Structure 1
Amino acid sequence: MTLKIGFVGLGMMGLPMLDNLARGGDDFDILAYDRDPARLDRLAAHPAWNRTLRPAADLRALAACDVVITMLPDSTITNAVIEGEDGLAAVMRAGSVLLDMGSSNPAETLRLAPRLRAVGVTLIDAPVSGAVAKAAAGTLAIMVGADAAGLERVRPVLSRMGASLIHTGAVGSAHAMKALNNYVYAAGLLAASEALLIAQRMDLDLDVFTDVLNASSGRNVATETKLRQFVVPGTYNGGFALALMAKDLRTADALQALAGVSATQLSLCTALWQRAREALPAGADNTEIHRYLERLNAPAPA
């Protein structure tokens, strides 16, 4: 039986995810929606366009879908799509699934789940890790907050977009783990950028220093995939916005109060990334945290 899927949000991650979802046969019938019509225009060359992949004029057009995926930047936008006038909560049919694949605030996920359940819609949180390159390759890691039956129901959909599905527990758990994961990544990139700046000021060979980090106990995903590729050459185009990283850190920081835990380094990291977001141009890449540190440490004018 053909599964009817709605996909909302065709940004840097959503577009390649949808591209993979729409490939591989006629078992999915997909309606794509974005409030920016130009993003829908990019799909016109897709081999499934106007066959098993078509545009949706508005959210109401998704009313007959079995599964609706949202891939949106934050909870404010996601909540508006779900709870706004003619939003998904009002138009989705009983028995359908809303799959939130953005990096939403877990507190909002926990608030929305019972509201949607009351109208017969199951909310599953399934945020992703792997950035644009893995979204394009269909090899994302996807965390899934759902009961066992819910996971199996959406597994065929998620498997088109990701190579690794991790069942994190009940609804809301995946968004919490994604935020905490991004904190650990951001802390690693921040530490690596600070160390790189010190090495640079000491006239050390940065390529050799990167080799040392990656062969030693300082190795992390930032040293392996960001330093030599984007930071040392100064291209700063790693494919994930610094503003989104700052947002994810604010989400992780808020979990301190929810959990009753004081995490000093998390608070410091969140504050520094927030200052970087305010100081750097809109659209800055997350690897530009290094550029921000350089500015902070610029020599005083003579």
Structure 2
Amino acid sequence: MKISKVGFVGLGAMGSVMSPLLVKAGYQVFGYDIIANIDESSGVKQLDTLDDFAQFDAVIFMLPNSKIVSEVVTKLLEINIKSILIDMSSSDPRETKKLGKIIEAEGLKFLDAPVSGGVSRAKTGDLMIMAGGDEEDILEVNDLLSIMGTVQYAGPLGSGHAIKALNNYVSAAGLIASFEALTTARSFGIKPENFLKIINGATGKNNTTEVKLDKFVVSEKFNSGFALDLMVKDVSIAHSLIKDLSSDNPLSNDVRNYLSKSLDLLGGNPDHTEVYKVIKK
């Protein structure tokens, strides 16, 4: 099947920079969002209703959670859509498997392909895309997905969403540990620049120390583009999976609880790097 017309549901921070890449690659892209508007210069034609999505070859979802994805899919099935459906959101893998059974019963193909890398890597098409589903179906959309990043097969349907949640849990644990360490180092009289040079040249380096501390925390900009409430959602999914599928879970509950507490203390819609403000108090 040749894919030429693509629907893109969700034009927020990620969708608004991912969808134009498809236009530049030669696809006809039609977007939809109940709140956000995308600039006409992006080349994405924004539609006012999902009713116009019936004739697309593929439909991509980049939405806040599984519940919204399911609601959108239900509406699309009502208009007899025939597209390949690709959920690039950070959804709950168990809900993805349930939704997959409904979609499969309609004779349609459904894949999960969440991403990692944030807005900066989304803009340049350098995301890590974690694909779950039938391998042949993933190959069918590989050219499309590869425009937005590197596609790595994870396993059967839901596997992409599972590993995305687990990845963000590992990232969150490293975030909290790095913030604790930086706060302690500063209190001991170690300058942040010296802390970063040594940590990033030693075994303690991680994504937070290499990418986030200098740019977003030491600078006090706290504008990474990834909201704390989304991290809490992902880590909560990971904790639930770990609790159900692992023999022990010594850390995941503490990570989830600390992030949730931080979200409550910070108020509003804080960036996830603002957890540092809670730790340094």
User: Do the structures match in fold with TM over 0.5?
Assistant: yes
Runs of at least 5 residues in structure 2 that lack an aligned partner in the other structure: none
Q: Give the 3 Å change call, closer, same or farther, for CA 20–167 of structure 1 in structure 2.
A: same
Which amino acid in the other structure matches residue 215 of structure 1? Answer: G
TM-score by length of 1: 0.89
Q: CA deviation at 1:199?
A: 0.9
Which amino acid in the other structure matches residue 34 of structure 1? Answer: D
CA RMSD of aligned residues (A): 1.4
Asked if 1:149 is matched to 2:140, the reply is no
**Mapped partners of 2:273, 2:261: distance in 1:** 15
Q: 1:54 aligns with which of 31, 37, 45?
A: 45
Matches for 1:1-302 after TM superposition, within 5 Å: 3-25=4-26, 28-36=27-35, 39-40=36-37, 42-46=38-42, 48=43, 53-83=44-74, 87-94=75-82, 96-162=83-149, 164-295=150-281
Q: CA deviation at 1:30?
A: 1.8
TM-score by length of 2: 0.95
Aligned length: 280
**Mapped partners of 1:12, 1:137: distance in 2:** 14
**Mapped partners of 1:244, 1:69: distance in 2:** 19
Q: Give the 3 Å change call, closer, same or farther, for CA 263–257 of structure 1 in structure 2.
A: closer
Runs of at least 5 residues in structure 1 that lack an aligned partner in the other structure: 296-302
* Identity between Structure 1 and Structure 2 (%): 37
Q: CA deviation at 1:92?
A: 4.5
**Mapped partners of 1:153, 1:144: distance in 2:** 12
Classify the secondary structure of the residue corresponding to 2:151.
strand
Q: CA deviation at 1:79?
A: 2.1
Q: CA deviation at 1:261?
A: 3.3
Which amino acid in the other structure matches residue 208 of structure 1? Answer: N
**Mapped partners of 1:145, 1:4: distance in 2:** 22
Deviations 1:178-221 (A, max 9, x none): 00000000000110000011111112111101111100010111
Q: Give the 3 Å change call, closer, same or farther, for CA 3–213 of structure 1 in structure 2.
A: same
Q: CA deviation at 1:282?
A: 2.0
Q: Is the contact between residue 64 and residue 92 of structure 1 (CA under 8 Å) also seen in structure 2?
A: no
Which amino acid in the other structure matches residue 90 of structure 1? Answer: E
Residue equivalent to 1:298: none
Which runs of structure 1 show a deviation greater than 3 angstroms over 4 or more consecutive aligned residues? none
